[in-house]
């Protein structure tokens, strides 16, 4: 039986195999900024919808650090669609968007406030800290 990725070159498989969902550079930037600001948090609570990247239990707030490519940051130059297997990618991206919306809605229903920080927003630490302060001290 043919598997869906049999026609993907081994070089592409190796590249995609290095893509990780946790402890990414943008996530580490957000964690570092929040920690330097004096906030303490829990990581990757699997018992919560969407497994938030940072959880602030005392504040009842969570932060997701989303990659612009994977989660489709509207208007971002990193939000491209690969030319190869475009139909596969479109369905994958659509499923990601629906899942993200569902997880945010479930968190709101449970009384949590959520913030999404996009990968492209993590390169300027001054702006990132201001964004975090606005959310966490509100």
pLDDT digits (tens, 9 = 90+) for 96-121: 999 999 999 999 999 999 999 999 99
Place 138 in a pLDDT band, splitting at 50, 70 and 90: confident
Q: What is the model's pLDDT at position 100? A: 98
Work out the burial of residue 7: count CB atoms within 10 Å of its CB; fewer than 13 is exposed, 13-18 middle, 19 or more buried.
exposed
pLDDT digits (tens, 9 = 90+) for 68-106: 999 999 999 999 989 988 999 999 999 999 999 999 999
3-state secondary structure at position 108: helix
In the chain, what are the domains? 22-136 (3.40.960.10)
């Amino acid at each position: 039986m043919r598997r869906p990725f049999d026609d993907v070159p081994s070089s592409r498989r190796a590249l995609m195999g290095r893509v990780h969902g946790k402890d990414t550079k943008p996530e580490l930037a957000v964690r570092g900024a929040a920690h330097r600001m004096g906030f303490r948090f829990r990581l990757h609570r699997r018992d919560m919808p969407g497994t938030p990247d940072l959880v602030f239990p005392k504040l009842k707030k969570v932060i997701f650090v989303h990659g612009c490519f994977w989660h489709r940051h509207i208007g971002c130059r990193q939000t491209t669609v690969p030319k190869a297997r475009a139909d596969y990618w479109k369905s994958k991206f659509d499923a990601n968007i629906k899942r993200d919306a569902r997880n945010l809605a479930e968190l709101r229903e449970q009384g949590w406030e959520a913030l999404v920080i996009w990968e492209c927003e993590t390169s300027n630490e001054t702006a990132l800290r201001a964004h975090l302060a606005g959310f966490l001290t509100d």
